[in-house]
Amino acid sequence: MTNHYYITGSSSGIGKALALELLADANNVVHGISRSETISHERYRHTTVDFAWQEAVLNFSFEQHPDDTKRIVLVNNAGTLGDMGYLGELKDEDIAASLNVNLVTPAILTNKFLRQFTGHPAEKVIINITSGAATSAYDGWSVYCTSKAGIDMLSRVAHAERLQRSDAKTHILAVAPGVVDTAMQTQIRSSTEEQFSRVAKFHELKKNQQLYNATDVARQLADLIANPASATDVVSRISL
């Protein structure tokens, strides 16, 4: 029986690491959705989408899967910090693009996923990648913090709605992976104190080798997807 995994932002970072982790199982097919294709594998299928543009997301469609499919999974992983800076100093178009990537796209894809697969006999899992920034007011990160707070609430409401419909075959979780050594961390360290007053903290995390490895995080996510009932709350955090 085959499992199908849809992963946004599959070209790098956590998304790519998770795709490679899942492809190690011959029963898994991974559908990567991102701006570029960086994985070559017989069970990897790629769709090029720029999530900054709503029209591209609106035109996306999930594939049809036969009734003997064991598990269908959506991992809303793609995210952007956008331009760091204080409100009043940001470009309006950057705010719109960042919210499209971080919040609008996951909401639309979750809606499409549930519309298409509710009633399908396979187990369904939606993992929304969130952040500690959802509950912390980091100066210079207004759009990112806002979008991740929205992801947490989107996940909680979607979960509550599944309970209301007695849909025991669909699991919806928001997972904060912690501070992972990705391109986003490089971007944070390149900022100035005027853009982000706590930038020195992130330099220290890198210097002291306190950043999580994307592959280790991917393994934890794969375990959670395989056993979503193990999560203690709809919104949780990976701890390595």
Query: What is the per-residue pLDDT across 195-221, written as a single tens digit (0 to 9) for each?
Result: 999 999 999 999 999 999 999 999 999
pLDDT digit string, tens, across residues 134-172: 999 999 999 999 999 999 999 999 999 999 999 999 999
DSSP label at residue 10 = T
Distance between CA atoms of residues 190 and 2, nearest Å: 43
Res 50 pLDDT > 90? yes
Count of Cβ atoms closer than 10 Å to residue 20 Cβ:
17
Instruction: Please identify which residue in the block is written with the tokens 């499209």.
Output: 100
Residue 193 banded pLDDT, cuts 50, 70, 90 = very high
**Of the candidates 229, 94, 224, 219, which has an alpha carbon nearest to the alpha carbon of residue 168?**
229
pTM, whole model, 2 decimals?
0.97
The DSSP 8-state label assigned to residue 139 in this structure reads T
Query: What whole-number distance in Å separates Cα of residue 223 and Cα of residue 120?
Result: 23
Burial of 228 (0-12, 13-18, 19+ CB in 10 A): middle
Measured distance CA(191)–CA(195) in Å, rounded = 6
Q: Has residue 173 got a pLDDT over 90?
A: yes
Residue 90 structure tokens: 């940001």
- How confident is residue 4, by pLDDT bands cut at 50, 70 and 90? very high
**What phi-psi label fits residue 226: left (phi over 0), alpha (psi between -120 and 50 degrees) or beta?**
alpha
Q: Is the pLDDT of residue 1 over 90?
A: no
Residue 239 pLDDT: 84
CA distance 94 to 20: 31
3-state secondary structure (DSSP) of residue 7: strand
Residue 122 has pLDDT above 90, yes or no: yes
Query: What structural domains and CATH numbers belong to the chain?
Result: 3-178+213-237 (3.40.50.720)
Q: Looking at the DSSP assignment, which residues form a beta bridge with residue 237?
A: 176
Average pLDDT taken over every residue of the chain: 97
Share of residues in the chain with pLDDT > 70 (%): 100
Distance between CA 188 and CA 202 in Å, rounded? 7
Would you state the pLDDT for residue 154?
98
